[in-house]
Amino acid sequence: MASHSRRRSTLVIQRGASRNEGKREQRTEARVRKRRRLATSPAEADYFDGLPDDLLVSVLSKLSSSAQRPSDLISALLTSKRFHALGHHPLVLSMAGSSCLSVRAKAWRDSAHRFLKRCVDCGNLEASYILGMVCGISLRFVLGDERFLRLGDKIRFYALENRGSGASLMAKAAVGSHAAALYSLAIVQFNGSGGSKAHKDLRAGVSLCARAAFLGHVDALRELGHCLQDGYGIRRNTAAGRRLLVQANARELAAAVSSSWPEWLEKRRLADPGGYSLLSDYGCSLPAPEPHPANRFLVEWFGSRGAPASEELRLCSHRGCGRRETRRHEFRRCSVCSLANYCSRACQALDWKLSHKAECAPTVPWAAASL
């Protein structure tokens, strides 16, 4: 009986082996026929079919990390079904850069939110930061236009009554040492955004800002330098603060020189000989720094929608910031004119050099009180 069962199992194994061998032979013959067809008709050949998936995923990952706009990656994914499938590989989505994830406010759709969320699930820190900054806007497509308009500004990060989702996404990016996320969380701590004035935590803001500055974030360096000079949340050290401000200017100069500096100088000389004076310490004129896609989105979003008259919440006056108050009088005001509002000292210093220096003038006290 036992010998009979062993004989049957041996026959089953042999049949399975012969079946697998037959399938291997069929696949080999199919590959040989395909190679012959490609060799005989090169005009009809699709050479991408012969490339392994790993190589295409590597190419698409490089494309997503270096793309200058989302359409660069989208155009590649529309090439073929295989590209479209491999373009959603976790490695490709995790490598997507900020330019590839940049979404304009007028082009925001539920599909854009789903794509960013998928990138977040794949571990993309840039997507976590961008989605954290604009968190809640996609509720328009869930709630409908009428309920969305009733909620008004409560569905964005900087006016959320429940700001946990946006903060958790930025915290996820900050844990991965994302400098911009660390700096944004520092501003939230400095201002107590989403809560009352009692929710300010200056020491936590300084710690987050120091970490972002260590990673080379220019605005964080500038903010930390002003905190040291003013003794804001940290023991006052004027000399160390001044060194950080000079270091921030030096990094700003290095970034400008490494980019299209000669071309910009020629264009600026022809357009406006005065230029911008961002680097007054060095006597140089530099172009305004390019805002992060998340900040640009906020500027466009709030600029297109306007501010509700009932809330009187103000935007940061630095045109490249886009942050908005979560409560009245949250942001600091210019001590001279009382017209400009700033979420941070870094934004105030940048806007002063960019434009406010030429616009600032003392305001009559009763006029300022009525604003």
Q: What is the pLDDT of residues 316-343, one digit of tens each?
A: 988 888 888 888 888 988 888 888 899 9
User: Total domain count for the chain?
Assistant: 1
Q: What is the pLDDT of residues 86-128, one digit of tens each?
A: 888 999 999 999 888 888 888 888 888 888 889 999 999 999 9
Report the distance separating Cα 19 and Cα 193, nearest Å: 67
Asked if the structure places residue 318 within a domain, the reply is yes
Match 């270091």 to its residue by tokens: 247
pLDDT bin (cut points 50, 70, 90) of residue 283 is very low
Judge whether 314 lies within some domain.
yes
In which domain, by residue range, is 355 found? Answer: 293-369
- 325 located within any domain: yes
Name the residue with higher pLDDT: 143 or 187: 187
* C-alpha–C-alpha distance, residues 213 and 218, integer Å: 7
> Which of 81-85, 142-146, 214-218, 246-250 has the weakest average pLDDT?
142-146
- Contacts for 74 with CB less than 8 Å, ≥ 6 apart: none
Residue 143 is assigned to a structural domain of this protein: no
β-partners of residue 134 are none
**Residue 15 — pLDDT band, cuts 50, 70, 90?**
low
Residues whose CB is less than 8 angstroms from the CB of residue 14 and which lie 6 or more positions away in sequence, other chains included: none
Residue 336 inside a domain? The answer is yes
Residue 346 located in a structural domain = yes
Distance between CA atoms of residues 33 and 264, nearest Å = 56
Structure tokens at 218: 């220019």
Residue 341 pairs in a beta bridge with 333
Is residue 361, in this structure, part of any structural domain at all? yes
The helix (H) or strand (E) run that includes residue 147 is: helix 145-151
Mean pLDDT score of the chain: 76
Q: Is residue 173 part of a domain?
A: no
